[in-house]
Amino acid sequence: MKPIAEMLKPRESVFSDTAREDVLNLSDFAEHRIDSEKFFSENFKTQGMSMLFDTAFKRFKGESDTGVIKLTQAMGGGKTHSMLALALLAEDEKLRDRVLGTKYAGIGKIQVVTFSGRENADFGLWGNIADQLGKKDLFSGYYSPLKAPGESAWINLLKDGKILILLDELPPYLENARSITVGNSDLSKVTIAALANLFSALGKEQLANVCLVFSDLKATYESGSELLQSSFKDLEAEASRIAIEIAPVALNSDEVYSILQKRLFEDKKLSEDYVIEKNDVAIAFKEAVATSKKLGFTSYSGETVYSGIVESYPFHPSIKDLYARFKENQNFQQTRGLIKLMRQIVRQFWESGQAKKSYLINVYDVDLNTPNLMSMFRQIKPDLEEAISHDIAQGGQAIAEIVDREKQDGNDYAQRLAKLFLVSSLSTANHAVLGLTDTEALGFVSAPGVDINAMKSCLEELRTQCWYMKTDNRGRLYFQNTKNMVAEMNTLVDSYTNESAKKELKRILTENFAAKLKVCYEQLYVLPAVDEIELDNKKISLVIFEPYPGNKLHPDLQKFYDAVSQKNRVMFLSGDRSVMEKLYVNSKKLKAIQTIVDGMNSEGVPATDQQRKEAEVQLDKAIQALFSTIRETFVTLYYPTKNGIVSADFKLEFKENKFDGEQQIISLLQSEMKYEPFSKEDAFMETLRKKCEARLFTTKEMPYSQICDRAATEISWQWYHPDQLDSLKADCLKKDKWREINGYLVKGPFEKDPTSVSVNQTNYDDKTQEFTLHIKGVGGRVYYDIGADPTAASAEITDSVFVTKEPSLRFICIDPSGERKTGHVYEFTGIAPIKYGQRATSNGQVLTLQTNDNYEVRYTTDGSEPKENGGIYNGEFVVPKGCKFVRTVTLFKGQVIESKDIPVDTTHANPSAKKIDPSKTLIYRMKAKKQLGDTESSYRELEQLSKIDGLFIKGGSAYIYQKDKEDNYVEYNANIHYTPTDLMALIDLIRSTSFKDRDVVVTFEYKELLFNAGEKFNTWVDMCKLDLDKLRAEGEIIQ
């Protein structure tokens, strides 16, 4: 792919300081100062020009009735040039054939008459025309005084031969003519009357040989426009009635490229493969734009730029749109002005050597530091001069130039963008489209070799730094003649001192590095004076300090660190001093834009306000810029290690305009093995214990406070959660790695404690007389024996729950590994709680005691100590009258098991009850029958009663039924007295006869017992351990 310099060669006129072809007028033709061959070689025949040629020459050929042509375009739009082209072709038949072909051959000679409003006409416009036709005397009657020729006069003047009349720049002539008095009128009105008569005459058949071309400048000359619209309405109406309107140049079409190509570059191409090479350029730009679009930077189409370049080469397609925006500016001469401007741009493009490096000429390829180019832009829109000098080009001091210089990449991306936005801002028309959106601008600057990401970055820099750049409500950036919010912000910035910037910076750093988690550092000092730093034995401090030249620790900090004892309680965040000034500037900018936003808030500016939106954008960018500079500045973290204080690279990461400085400091320290997060896992605790004993807990015993103090001074000690040491202490004590003795921590290894065994009685079953024990051995296996100390040869306890009837056992725990000494023998004696019962008998109140059969019970009824004075309990005994309680003691082989005082229930005493006469018959009649519901209890009751000789049962009944067939039964009822033995025999007889070999159930009940003597009743009461008072309550004793 070849640069432009190897494809095209500019015409020599491009480099000429005296070139004036772009400002030719009709007088140049009249005075034969135009080289017709050169003229047509350098001028592109536009569609408007072709239409002009066709209309005029068809008139002369007799093929058209149109005799008046009005060229309509603003000043500099190619009207004069088109007239000159027509004049040259009309005058020279051979030239006409070469340019137009033989289409209009045979027309013959055409006489050309020209009039330019910039010239004086002593005999009026009509006299000038008559003089050029050689018929000045024919109009002699219209010279003194000046008066307008009539229609017939014009016909008479022009009827002979083919005549082309060219009238250019009439409005300034007519304006000037208004000052010349003619009789009771002025020359302007007389001239208008003459022209009206001429236009009318041209519609007559006699003048079919005449064609008149005039230019309409009402869009350019305000005074002329007013003239034609008011005083000259009749002339305008007459001209419009008979004239055809032609626009010489379609400025919004690709003709503008063809005009520039033809005018500025030689026809002969330097490259033999020009078309192919041009196509390669178009493809390369297409790919560059497609890449930008894929990245989301533009919506500009690669296909669009490709087809545009094919037509516009060597110019970028954006030129047509952007230059068309200011074509209507007052005093800008449209096509003529564009040619002038592009001639200077192309000249500078070649002379600077840019043509040897570039593939297209773009809108931004203009050196505004060149006086003649700056002068041209000043003329297009004068009020942007300050914007250009401050923001775009000022000998290296403008914002765009500074941005590019600070990038240090050799590119001029910011200047390209700034000039692109400038050209898009040049229109002075009402309701004009100004500026470009980001996507439009980035699409226009996308080119081969352009780093579009860097270009985007420069765009953001311009947006935040330019004083005269503004954003409209559609997001278009453009330059204006008044300062924007950036300028206001910079004015505030200039008013701030570094101290105020430092204050704002401290606030930002404090917010983002504050110790919220407090799992590593707990104290924060931001940009302090050294004497403000106070270290704490129990807390780690982070000190953020201004960087020192050379990217090393500030000497004041080094001196401070060397002097303190708590060297393991501080770290320093510092970095690159060269960025510090930029950091202060960005801090000031943030403070300034925040002040502006706060002001808008207090004024109630709505969120939809464009200025408010811009302020919010600027605030966001200021935050980003400050954070970015913070990242560039504070890049080194200094922290203590066993090798002294060392540094590590620190890179802040941002998310949504925020960063968590604390977490990122922790992450870096963790990666550098200086910090470990909190943990209670056994493996971690064991490793930590070993580190602690090697670095802090270095003697056999040490106060815990001293260990903590050493953690603050010992730089080889890593940093942990503030609670980690306390957690380590608790863990080591729990696991017997350390012991706390008399306020000191003592570290192991320790000799293991002897084995031990604990025995706890959990239950005693008084029926089975079994003891339930819970046995736990510590440090080994448990063995037991009876009457002797156990050994490993004794019986082993294999379950923690052990049941035994032995009231006394010995236990021991033995470590089979031999690591522990064997502890003491544990001698167990079971506890069998004494039970007691009290009942009334004919002899008085009787007390019954019960305990384990292996135990001895001693008791006293007089309140004395039973162990020494008590009698041995062998069975129930009568409690002496007046005794309030019985004192007891349970002994096993002389060892006291339990002592218990048993209260005597005196409520059983019934002095009014009738005494039993031992010799008299006695009946005991129950209030309710005593029921025995099964075979076993029935026989047991009868057997018990049968033991009393002289006892009879009355009102007894038996119910005997087959167990598996209950409706097969025998029921016996007797109201006479039977002995228990006889009743049992009767029941047995029934079972053996009626239910032989069958399983039966026997139930029995009775209500009355007859004793043949009272003493037999007493015997029954004592044998059954019955309470006489209870018997009286439940029945009746009859004697």
| Residue 948: inside a domain | yes
Six token digits for residue 727: 């957690």
Same domain for 847 and 927, yes or no, is no
Six token digits for residue 521: 């550092």
| Residue 9: inside a domain | no
| Residue 6: inside a domain | no
Residue 109 has pLDDT above 70, yes or no: yes
Same domain for 387 and 267, yes or no, is yes
pLDDT at 853: 93
Single-letter amino acid, residue 919: S
Same domain for 1013 and 957, yes or no, is yes
Residue 53 has pLDDT above 80, yes or no: yes
Give the model confidence (pLDDT) of 564-590 as tens digits. 999 999 999 999 888 888 999 999 989
**Where residue 908 falls among pLDDT bands split at 50, 70, 90?**
low
pLDDT at 223: 46
- Residue 1014: name the closest of 839, 838, 842 by CA: 842
pLDDT at 556: 94
Give the span between the Cα atoms of 496 and 508, in whole angstroms.
Answer: 17
Helix H or strand E segment including 645: strand 644-649
Q: What is the CATH number of the domain that holds 869?
A: 2.60.40
Give the span between the Cα atoms of 934 and 1000, in whole angstroms.
Answer: 10
Give the model confidence (pLDDT) of 54-100 as tens digits. 999 999 998 888 889 998 865 455 788 899 999 999 999 888 888 88
* Three-state DSSP class for residue 112: strand
pLDDT at 372: 86
Give the model confidence (pLDDT) of 847-867 as tens digits. 999 999 999 999 999 999 999
Give the model confidence (pLDDT) of 957-972 as tens digits. 999 999 999 999 999 9
Same domain for 712 and 662, yes or no, is no
**How many other CB atoms sit within 10 Å of the CB of residue 1026?**
14
The region that residue 268 occupies, defined by phi over 0 for left and psi between -120 and 50 for alpha, beta otherwise, is beta
Same domain for 869 and 935, yes or no, is no
- Residue 570: name the closest of 580, 579, 582, 561 by CA: 561
Domains of the chain: total? 7
What average pLDDT does range 870-897 have in this prediction?
Answer: 92
| Residue 677: inside a domain | no
**Where residue 248 falls among pLDDT bands split at 50, 70, 90?**
confident
**Where residue 234 falls among pLDDT bands split at 50, 70, 90?**
low
Higher pLDDT among residues 882 and 640, named by residue: 640
- Residue 25: name the closest of 111, 72, 84 by CA: 84
State how far the alpha carbon of 920 is from the alpha carbons of 345, 379, 565, 1032, 1038, in Å. Answer: 158, 158, 110, 18, 10
Give the model confidence (pLDDT) of 931-958 as tens digits. 999 999 999 999 999 999 999 999 899 9
| Residue 175: inside a domain | yes
pLDDT at 914: 81
pLDDT at 612: 86
Higher pLDDT among residues 324 and 18, named by residue: 324
Give the model confidence (pLDDT) of 280-296 as tens digits. 999 999 999 999 999 99
What average pLDDT does range 359-382 have in this prediction?
Answer: 90
Q: Give the domain-ending residue among 796, 829, 862.
A: 829
Six token digits for residue 795: 């019986």
Six token digits for residue 483: 């300062």
Check if the beta carbon of residue 186 is closer than 8 Å to that of residue 200.
no
Same domain for 169 and 237, yes or no, is yes
Same domain for 704 and 734, yes or no, is yes
- Alpha carbon 89 to chain centroid, angstroms: 72
811 - beta bridge partners?
784, 826
Same domain for 54 and 142, yes or no, is yes
The average confidence (pLDDT) of the chain is 90
Q: Give the domain-ending residue among 696, 730, 747.
A: 747
Give the model confidence (pLDDT) of 407-417 as tens digits. 999 999 999 99
Check if the beta carbon of residue 1003 is closer than 8 Å to that of residue 970.
no
Q: Is 542 exposed, middle or buried (0-12, 13-18, 19+ CB in 10 A)?
A: buried
Q: What is the CATH number of the domain that holds 988?
A: 3.30.1490
The DSSP symbol for 390 reads I
Residue 337 has pLDDT above 80, yes or no: no
Helix H or strand E segment including 706: helix 704-713
**Where residue 222 falls among pLDDT bands split at 50, 70, 90?**
very low
pLDDT at 220: 37
pLDDT at 16: 83
Q: Is 723 exposed, middle or buried (0-12, 13-18, 19+ CB in 10 A)?
A: exposed
Range of the domain at 697: 682-747
Residue 458 has pLDDT above 60, yes or no: yes
pLDDT at 909: 58
Check if the beta carbon of residue 515 is closer than 8 Å to that of residue 666.
no
Lowest mean pLDDT: which of 285-299, 397-411, 464-478?
Answer: 464-478
pLDDT at 221: 42
pLDDT at 545: 95
Give the model confidence (pLDDT) of 708-725 as tens digits. 999 999 999 999 999 999
Residue 233 has pLDDT above 70, yes or no: no
Six token digits for residue 925: 């009649």
What average pLDDT does range 730-750 have in this prediction?
Answer: 94
| Residue 1021: inside a domain | yes
Same domain for 265 and 413, yes or no, is yes
Check if the beta carbon of residue 480 is closer than 8 Å to that of residue 318.
no
pLDDT at 335: 72
pLDDT at 23: 63
| Residue 913: inside a domain | no
pLDDT at 365: 92
Same domain for 286 and 316, yes or no, is yes
Torsional sign, CA 195, 197, 203, 209: negative
Q: What is the 3-state secondary structure (H, E, C) of 518-561?
A: CCCEEEEEECCCHHHCCCECCEEEEEECCCECCCECCHHHHHHH
Site of tokens 């190897």: 6
- Give 3-state DSSP helix, strand, coil % of the chain, rounded to 5: 45, 20, 35
pLDDT at 484: 84
pLDDT at 21: 46
Give the span between the Cα atoms of 417 and 461, in whole angstroms.
Answer: 11
pLDDT at 534: 96
Give the span between the Cα atoms of 552 and 531, in whole angstroms.
Answer: 20
Q: What share of the chain has pLDDT > 70, as a percent?
A: 95
Lowest mean pLDDT: which of 308-317, 323-332, 480-489, 791-800?
Answer: 323-332
| pTM given for the model | 0.53
Q: What share of the chain has pLDDT > 90, as a percent?
A: 65
pLDDT at 331: 64
Same domain for 474 and 599, yes or no, is no
pLDDT at 228: 42
pLDDT at 227: 46
Within 111-177, where are the H helices?
124-132, 151-158, 170-177
Residue 341 has pLDDT above 90, yes or no: no
Give the model confidence (pLDDT) of 809-850 as tens digits. 999 999 999 989 999 999 999 999 999 988 888 888 899 999
| Residue 10: inside a domain | no
Give the span between the Cα atoms of 651 and 124, in whole angstroms.
Answer: 84
Q: Is 655 exposed, middle or buried (0-12, 13-18, 19+ CB in 10 A)?
A: exposed
Q: Give the domain-ending residue among 848, 878, 908.
A: 908
pLDDT at 239: 72
pLDDT at 428: 87
Give the span between the Cα atoms of 1032 and 227, in whole angstroms.
Answer: 151
Same domain for 80 and 107, yes or no, is yes
